[in-house]
């Protein structure tokens, strides 16, 4: 909206008695009761204990224009992702509602498939079933890069399976293609106004192969807006806990993400205005990972415990606030600004790190806050940076020589061999 549009909107009378009007997405009455449906292992509107019953409830609610799917207590075992839809809220019963991924199976493909094909042939179809979510991976036969395709098996004859959509990439035996029953537990793509609240997601890490967070996680979202994750426990995924790619205005609040091979919270490439507040992130590879081009985000009052790296920020992640977090006992580094020297505008510029508590970071030569590379306009203010295990070779704040205008203000730094290192 341009300035003229803003002025016109401000001059209009306020909506004081909204009425439901077809096509009006702005003004809506505050209804006392809204449509909902229950899912449970017994005595519910829809009864079952797998992804199919959950998907049926989500699709029903989406067809009605939105509403709440209440997932009653019980364990639900998933052989495919639950695909969420716009304006649908998935509401559990806390620790008593557990969505758990079944163990994965992996096998090589036995025949070439071209980009226009909609079927694959497995070397051995044992362990695979119609309805399974799968991930096809190979070396790209043209450029040597990685090919990753997510699909669902929808028909079968022996070891031949039809997919729900065409491949759109070549899977040739020269690229050593494989098929694995890997998928996000909850998946959200090209949707908006989705909420996931008060439930537990178990990735069954010990019995699943790895799939990195650009494709999956306990929760995975792609090209979405206005997502809310609140009161969710995500645990033990062989990949990420929460990952959202090119998603805007995502709120993650009061969640517990732990025991993942990858990242606790992964605001992914191009995501604008994420809010991550009051979460507990522990024993992951990285607690909070700002990916590429994450801007105008807020990480506030999160507790990061015993991750390899507490908080990482890098390529074009600009204008973010990291405020009032605990970063405790990180195995490699506390807060790390990743260097990116491909050009002056590639770095994580204009970020503020304030009022955090960063304690016991890395090994005997560990660095609590590491700022290096072509980075400018960084403020580190009023942080408590402590080392309680002995000074050894440890450094409180390291500022690389390529940086410009890194301001250190009112930080309290204790227990290090060298409190601050500024390279020249």
pLDDT for the residue numbered 33: 85
pLDDT for the residue numbered 6: 53
Residue in 194, 212, 191, 199 with CA at minimum distance from that of residue 148: 212
> Residue 254: is its pLDDT beyond 80?
yes
Q: How many domains does the chain have?
A: 2
**Domain co-membership, 169 together with 214:** no
What does DSSP assign to residue 316?
T
Per-residue pLDDT, averaged over 162-179, amounts to 97
What does DSSP assign to residue 144?
S
Instruction: Please state, in angstroms and rounded to a whole number, the distance separating the CA atoms of residues 400 and 421.
Output: 8
Q: What is the pLDDT of residues 185-230, one digit of tens each?
A: 999 999 999 999 999 999 999 999 999 999 999 999 999 999 999 9
Q: What is the pLDDT of residues 6-64, one digit of tens each?
A: 555 568 898 888 898 888 878 888 888 889 999 999 999 999 999 999 999 999 999 99
**Domain co-membership, 151 together with 261:** no
Range of the domain at 113: 106-180
pLDDT for the residue numbered 333: 97
Residue in 363, 298, 368, 296 with CA at minimum distance from that of residue 327: 368
Q: At which of 157, 180, 203 does a domain end?
A: 180
- We report the CATH number of the domain holding residue 136 as 2.40.30
Phi-psi region of 249 (alpha: psi -120 to 50; beta: other; left: phi over 0): left
Residue 268 lies in a domain: yes
**Domain co-membership, 128 together with 258:** no
> Residue 237: is its pLDDT beyond 60?
yes
pLDDT classification of 266: cutoffs 50, 70, 90: very high
């Amino acid at each position: 909206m341009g300035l003229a549009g803003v002025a016109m909107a401000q001059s209009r009378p306020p909506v004081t008695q909204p009425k439901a009007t077809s096509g009006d997405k702005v003004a809506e009455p505050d209804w006392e009761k809204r449509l909902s449906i229950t899912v449970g292992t017994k005595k519910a509107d829809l009864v079952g204990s797998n992804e199919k019953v959950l998907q049926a409830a989500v699709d029903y609610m989406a067809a009605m224009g939105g509403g709440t799917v209440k997932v009653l207590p019980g364990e639900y075992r998933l052989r495919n992702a639950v695909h969420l839809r716009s304006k649908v809220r998935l509401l559990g019963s806390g620790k008593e509602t557990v969505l758990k991924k079944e163990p994965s199976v992996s096998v090589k493909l036995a025949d070439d498939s071209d980009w226009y094909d909609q079927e694959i042939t497995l070397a051995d179809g044992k362990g695979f079933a119609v309805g399974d979510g799968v991930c096809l991976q190979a070396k790209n036969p043209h450029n040597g890069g990685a090919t990753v395709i997510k699909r669902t098996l929808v028909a079968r004859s022996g070891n031949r399976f039809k997919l729900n959509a065409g491949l759109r990439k070549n899977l040739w035996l020269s690229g050593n293609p494989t098929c694995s029953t890997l998928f996000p537990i909850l998946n959200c793509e090209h949707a908006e106004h989705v909420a996931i609240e008060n439930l537990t997601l178990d990735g069954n890490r010990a019995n699943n192969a790895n799939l990195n967070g650009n494709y999956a996680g306990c929760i995975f979202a792609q090209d979405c807006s206005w997502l809310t994750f609140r009161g969710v426990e995500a645990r033990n995924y062989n990949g990420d806990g929460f990952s959202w790619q090119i998603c805007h205005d995502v709120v993650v609040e009061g969640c517990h993400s732990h025991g993942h091979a990858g990242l606790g919270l992964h605001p992914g490439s191009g995501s604008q205005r994420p809010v991550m507040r009051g979460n507990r992130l522990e024993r992951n590879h990285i607690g909070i990972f700002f990916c590429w081009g994450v801007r105008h985000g807020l990480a506030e009052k999160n507790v990061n415990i015993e991750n390899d790296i507490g908080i990482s920020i890098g390529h074009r992640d600009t204008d973010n606030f990291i405020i009032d977090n605990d970063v405790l006992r990180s195995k490699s580094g506390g807060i790390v600004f990743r260097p990116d020297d491909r050009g002056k505008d590639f770095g994580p510029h204009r970020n503020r790190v304030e009022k955090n508590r960063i304690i016991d970071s890395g090994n005997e030569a560990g660095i609590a806050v590491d700022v290096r590379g072509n980075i400018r306009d960084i403020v580190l203010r009023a942080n408590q940076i402590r080392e309680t295990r002995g000074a050894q070779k440890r450094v409180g704040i390291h500022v690389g020589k390529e940086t410009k205008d890194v301001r250190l203000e009112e930080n309290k730094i204790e227990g290090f061999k060298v409190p601050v290192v500024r390279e020249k």
